[in-house]
Amino acid sequence: MDILFLDDWLVAVNKPSGLLVHRSLIDKRETDFAMQRVRNQLGRRVYPVHRLDKPTSGILLFALDPGTARAVTARFTAGQVKKTYRAIVRGFPAPAGEIDYALCEALDPLTDARADLDKGPQAATTHFRRLATVELPHGVGRYPTARYALVELQPKTGRKHQLRRHLKHIFHPIIGDTTHGDGRHNRFFYERFDNRRLLLVATALRLDHPQTGEPLVLTAPPAADFQRIVSALGWDT
């Protein structure tokens, strides 16, 4: 694993797309996990403090002791961690904006032991900023051209699949999202660019260090398979 930060209390790594954070009933046959890789690499136990979806790549933070894990988890729960992502989406969203759209809890009774599938919608907010756009001379669906944008996303809440669901809500789904995306555009990216992943990356975390109290800014370069698509679309960013 590419280690981005390491001290006596925390370790941050750049997780690749397609890797589960830890063992899960989502894929009982999977034997490779980010948590196990980092544990083996450091030769000590590590404790997850947040999670990234299996298809999402980018910065993933672990604590190195239970007390630090509790402190950092509390910061995530309280919204005291600033998270930044980049994504490639269908269409041209507004230059900037806020998605304020409550989400029903997306729980799986197999993986969430205390799942309450009847729970009402929960507040969810995402800020976004458009970074680049492109219009390709290829018909996908009913239009003669295809439009795409690179966006920066900052979720202010931490609902399950929040970014993927929010982008779908504003009709700009993330490319490669097989659950909340657009199958026609997913196929186009597979056939034209050999894209085999969700085009969503976690690029930064900002929080106060749980032990020193000093501001901690963690950044991760986009994965090579994501950056390859960015370059193929002609974006120099």
Neighbours of 188 (CB within 10 A): 21
For the chain, give the longest Cα–Cα distance.
Answer: 56
Catalytic option among 7, 32, 53, 177: 53
Spatial contact of 153 and 85, defined as CB atoms under 8 Å apart: yes
The secondary element (H helix, E strand) that includes residue 60 is strand 57-63
Give strand ranges (E) for 92-224. Answer: 96-100, 125-136, 146-155, 200-208, 215-219
In degrees to the nearest 10, what's the CA dihedral of 236, 154, 225, 60? 130
Spatial contact of 145 and 136, defined as CB atoms under 8 Å apart: yes
Confirm whether 7 is a catalytic residue: no
In whole angstroms, give the CA distance from residue 96 to residue 98.
Answer: 7
The sign one gets for the Cα dihedral 77, 81, 87, 91 is: positive
Residues with catalytic annotation?
53
